[in-house]
A and B are shown apart, each in its own frame.
Chain A
Amino acid sequence: MDRRRLLGPLNTVIPNIGISSEINGSKSTPQTGISSSSSSNKNDIENFFLKTGIIENANGSAYLEVGNNVIEVSVFGPRPIRGSFIDRASFSVECKFLPYISQPGDELFNTNNQFNNSNSNTNANGRTGLTTIEHKISSYVETALLPSIILEKYPKSTFDVFVTIVATETPTYNSNEKLMRLTNWIVNCASVALVDANVEVKDIVTSGIVKSNKSGDIIIDPRGQIEDEQNEQDEQDDQNEENVLGVASFMNLNNDQLVGIWVEGGDIDQDLVTKVINGCNDMSKKIRANINSFLIDSLQ
Chain B
Amino acid sequence: MSKANTDTVVVPGQYITPTYKLQEDSNIIEKYISGRGTTISQIKASETSTITVIAASILGKVYINEIEVTSGEVEDKNNEQKQQIKTFLVVVIPKSSTYLNFQKEHQQALSNSISINLPKENDIVLVKVTKITLKQVFCEILTVENGDNVLKDSGLGVNGELSHASVSPSGGSASLSNYQTVASSQSTMSAAQFQDIGENFRGVIRSQDIRSTERDRVKVIESYKPGDIVRAMILSLGDGSNYYLTTARNDFGVIFAKSVNGSGNLMYPLDWQNMIDVNNGIIEKRKCANPFA
**A contacts B directly (C-beta below 8 A):** yes
Query: How many of A's residues come within 8 Å of B, CB to CB?
Result: 63
- Residues of B close to A202: CB separation below 8 A: 12-13, 39, 41, 55, 57
Say whether A92 contacts B239, CB under 8 Å.
no
Q: Can you identify 16 A-B contacts, CB atoms within 8 angstroms?
A: A58-B153, A82-B240, A83-B191, A83-B193, A89-B187, A138-B184, A158-B192, A160-B178, A195-B11, A202-B57, A203-B55, A252-B13, A253-B15, A296-B11, A299-B59, A299-B60
Tell me the nearest residue of chain A to B182, going by C-beta.
A92
Residues of B within 8 A of A (CB): 9, 11-15, 37, 39, 41-44, 55, 57-61, 94-95, 97, 116-118, 151-153, 178, 180-189, 191-195, 199-202, 237, 239-241
Chain A min CB distance to B154 (Å): 9
Tell me the nearest residue of chain B to A296, going by C-beta.
B9
Q: Is A90 an interface residue when CB atoms closer than 8 A count as contact?
A: yes
Say whether B117 contacts A199, CB under 8 Å.
yes
Chain B min CB distance to A88 (Å): 7
Q: Given the interface contacts A146-B186, A200-B39, does A85 sit within 8 Å of B240 by beta carbon?
A: yes
Q: Which 7 pairs between the two chains have the least Cβ-Cβ distance?
A: A203-B13, A138-B183, A90-B188, A253-B13, A200-B57, A92-B182, A57-B153
Tell me the nearest residue of chain B to A157, going by C-beta.
B118
Tell me the nearest residue of chain A to B153, going by C-beta.
A57
Q: Type the 1/0 row for A58-101, where 1 means its CB is closer than 8 Å to any CB of B.
A: 11000000000000000010111111111011111111000000
Q: Is A129 an interface residue when CB atoms closer than 8 A count as contact?
A: yes
Say whether A81 contacts B195, CB under 8 Å.
yes
Q: Helix, strand, loop or mixed for chain B's interface? A: loop
Q: Given the interface contacts A80-B199, A81-B194, A200-B39, does A142 sit within 8 Å of B186 by beta carbon?
A: yes
Chain B min CB distance to A193 (Å): 12
Say whether B186 contacts A80, CB under 8 Å.
no
Q: Which of A58, A94, A291 contacts B181 (CB 8 A)?
A: A94
Say whether A81 contacts B193, CB under 8 Å.
yes
- In the assembled complex, the Cα of A158 lies from the Cα of B151 at a distance in Å of 12
Say whether A92 contacts B185, CB under 8 Å.
yes
- Residues of B close to A90: CB separation below 8 A: 185, 187-188, 192
Task: Say which one of A12-20, A147-155, A216-224 lies at the interface with B.
Answer: A147-155
Q: Is A28 an interface residue when CB atoms closer than 8 A count as contact?
A: no
Say whether B178 contacts A200, CB under 8 Å.
no
Say whether A158 contacts B11, CB under 8 Å.
no
- In the assembled complex, the Cα of A153 lies from the Cα of B89 at a distance in Å of 18
Q: Is A292 an interface residue when CB atoms closer than 8 A count as contact?
A: yes
Give the one of A57, A95, A151, A196 with max B CB within 10 A: A57
- Residues of B close to A292: CB separation below 8 A: 11, 14
Say whether A142 contacts B9, CB under 8 Å.
no
Chain A min CB distance to B184 (Å): 6
Say whether B237 contacts A155, CB under 8 Å.
yes
- Residues of A close to B201: CB separation below 8 A: 80, 156-157
Chain A min CB distance to B37 (Å): 7
Q: Given the interface contacts A143-B186, A146-B187, does A299 sit within 8 Å of B61 by beta carbon?
A: yes
Q: Is A251 an interface residue when CB atoms closer than 8 A count as contact?
A: yes
Q: Is A300 an interface residue when CB atoms closer than 8 A count as contact?
A: yes
- Residues of B close to A197: CB separation below 8 A: 117
Q: Is A295 an interface residue when CB atoms closer than 8 A count as contact?
A: yes
Say whether B239 contacts A85, CB under 8 Å.
yes
Tell me the nearest residue of chain A to B57, going by C-beta.
A200
Say whether B37 contacts A200, CB under 8 Å.
yes
- In the assembled complex, the Cα of A84 lies from the Cα of B240 at a distance in Å of 5
Tell me the nearest residue of chain B to A253, going by C-beta.
B13
- In the assembled complex, the Cα of A84 lies from the Cα of B188 at a distance in Å of 11
Say whether A198 contacts B240, CB under 8 Å.
no
Chain A min CB distance to B107 (Å): 20
- In the assembled complex, the Cα of A255 lies from the Cα of B153 at a distance in Å of 37
Chain A min CB distance to B171 (Å): 14
Q: Is A172 an interface residue when CB atoms closer than 8 A count as contact?
A: no
- Residues of B close to A56: CB separation below 8 A: 152
Q: Given A81-B195, A201-B13, A204-B11, output 17 extra A-B contacts at Cβ < 8 Å.
A: A76-B152, A80-B199, A83-B192, A84-B240, A88-B188, A92-B184, A129-B180, A130-B183, A142-B183, A153-B118, A157-B118, A198-B59, A200-B116, A202-B13, A202-B57, A255-B43, A255-B44
